[in-house]
Amino acid sequence: MYCACRTETLRGDKLKKYKIAVIPGDGIGPEIVDEGKKVIDAVSEKENFEIEWVEYPFGADHYIETGELLNEDSLKEMEKMNAIYLGALGDPRLEPGILEKGILLALRFYYDQYINLRPVKLLEGVDCPLKNKKPEDIDFVVVRENTEDFYVGIGNRAKEGKHRQELEVIRSIYSVKFGLDVELEGDEIAYQIGVVSRKGAERAIRYAFELAKRRGDSRVTSVDKANVLSHVYNFWRSIVEEVSKEYPGIDYEFNFVDAITMWFVKNPEWYQTIVTPNMFGDIITDLGAMIQGGLGFAPGGNINPDGVSMFEPIHGSAPKYKGMNVANPIATIWAGAMLVDEIGQEKAAKDIVSAIEEVIKEGKVRTKDLGGNASTSDMGDAIARKVKEI
């Protein structure tokens, strides 16, 4: 162990300290998050900062034991921390959606993490399922709006007859109530309402253009289905057009969501920065994960630029591999790189991604999904060792 004051005098700069909330969650969550913490601890020693990890038990076991999904005290505590590191949520003992909506989406909405940032980048040494595509061909970023669209979660079922139904969405930037007089002739129906707000869309779209500017991109691609879901997505389009006027050096284009799935496979090299409403962003980033080598490689950040952000792999909890020490922890380790970047340790973030890339290129440590038999912790150890050498 070393002491902070000594490090200070030795290196001449102040040891920075950060407090990070950790929610290991369900399934393989705890195993992969352990590896992510290991790598961040390794890089922090080298880059002269320190992390205090504060663990929270939220997930399936906690819910089954206590009936609690989240609690207000913990939410308030985490709000004061520098970031949240999340493993995975989801458990076959529970109905789908309970934990996903009750914890994951609840956290995204509570902290108003209005950006879901998902880099799609093929690292050197990773096998790509697309023929003849190289790392320079697959290197773009998806900015997914993260609080609205069909994710606002309002809708209902109605049976034949007359009913009054009240629906409500409460967000920090607006709240909206729908009082619906449903008069149904015929058999039972269900409906779901998607909401796009001017402020909500604008802040996500502006974030994307700003990011494109920082990356030196020449083009932003916006995704929608304005040819069919025209109310919400024509509105979205008009906001893209408005915001784009502030960025005369950056072109923009519109892609329909069905078409972009085709282009991801055919011409991924076309894409630079993509901005998308919530639901299409969810769908296209699973495809993005596959073209960057699989779900084992796809990290994501739920970002509130003025608040607390949360980082996680985009894959789920893979319950059948729970506790087996076989899952690939790279997506989580990479999400850890995004986390340290967001708290201001850019050099540490770059080092982590380089270490992942080096270990993959060397090819000695390969988890099951990569055709090897290295364990989750072997992979974490190798990347933690490498990050110190870089």
Tell me which residues touch ligand IPM (CB under 6 A).
100, 104-105, 282, 314
- Nearest approach, Cβ of residue 104 and ligand IPM (Å): 5
Two tokens at 251?
A: 């072109």
Angle at 209 between CA 208 and CA 213, to 5 degrees: 115
Residue 301 or 386 with smaller CB distance to ligand IPM: 301
> Binding partner of residue 105 among ligand IPM, Mn ion, none, CB under 5 to 8 Å per kind?
ligand IPM
Query: Is 312 a binder of Mn ion (CB under 5 A)?
Result: no
Please report the sign of the dihedral spanned by the C-alpha atoms of residue 137, residue 216, residue 283, residue 239: negative
- Nearest approach, Cβ of residue 141 and Mn ion (Å): 16
Q: Interacting stretch for Mn ion, rule CB under 5 A, among 21-29, 31-39, 148-156, 274-282?
A: 274-282
Residue 32 or 104 with smaller CB distance to ligand IPM: 104
Residue 333 or 348 with smaller CB distance to ligand IPM: 333
Residue 23 or 105 with smaller CB distance to ligand IPM: 105
> Binding partner of residue 100 among ligand IPM, Mn ion, none, CB under 5 to 8 Å per kind?
ligand IPM
- Nearest approach, Cβ of residue 171 and Mn ion (Å): 21
Indicate the pairing of strand 115-121 with strand 139-145: antiparallel
Closest residue to bound ligand IPM by CB: 100
Size of the site for Mn ion (CB under 5 A): 1
- Nearest approach, Cβ of residue 333 and ligand IPM (Å): 17
- Nearest approach, Cβ of residue 55 and ligand IPM (Å): 21
> Binding partner of residue 104 among Mn ion, ligand IPM, none, CB under 5 to 8 Å per kind?
ligand IPM
Residue 49 or 297 with smaller CB distance to Mn ion: 297
> Binding partner of residue 365 among ligand IPM, Mn ion, none, CB under 5 to 8 Å per kind?
none
Residue 96 or 305 with smaller CB distance to ligand IPM: 96
- Nearest approach, Cβ of residue 291 and ligand IPM (Å): 16
Neighbours of 305 (CB within 10 A): 12
Two tokens at 347?
A: 């050099």
Among 282, 342, 358, 381, binds Mn ion (CB under 5 A): 282
- Nearest approach, Cβ of residue 289 and Mn ion (Å): 9
Residue 51 or 60 with smaller CB distance to ligand IPM: 60
Residue 60 or 105 with smaller CB distance to ligand IPM: 105
Closest CA to 61 of 90, 32, 95: 90
Q: CB under 8 Å to 12, separation ≥6 — which residues?
A: none
Q: Are the C-beta atoms of residues 357 and 390 closer than 8 Å to each other?
A: no
> Binding partner of residue 226 among ligand IPM, Mn ion, none, CB under 5 to 8 Å per kind?
none
Query: Is 145 a binder of Mn ion (CB under 5 A)?
Result: no
Residue 250 or 314 with smaller CB distance to ligand IPM: 314
- Nearest approach, Cβ of residue 100 and ligand IPM (Å): 4
- Nearest approach, Cβ of residue 253 and Mn ion (Å): 24
Which residues in this chain contact Mn ion in the complex, by CB under 5 A? 282
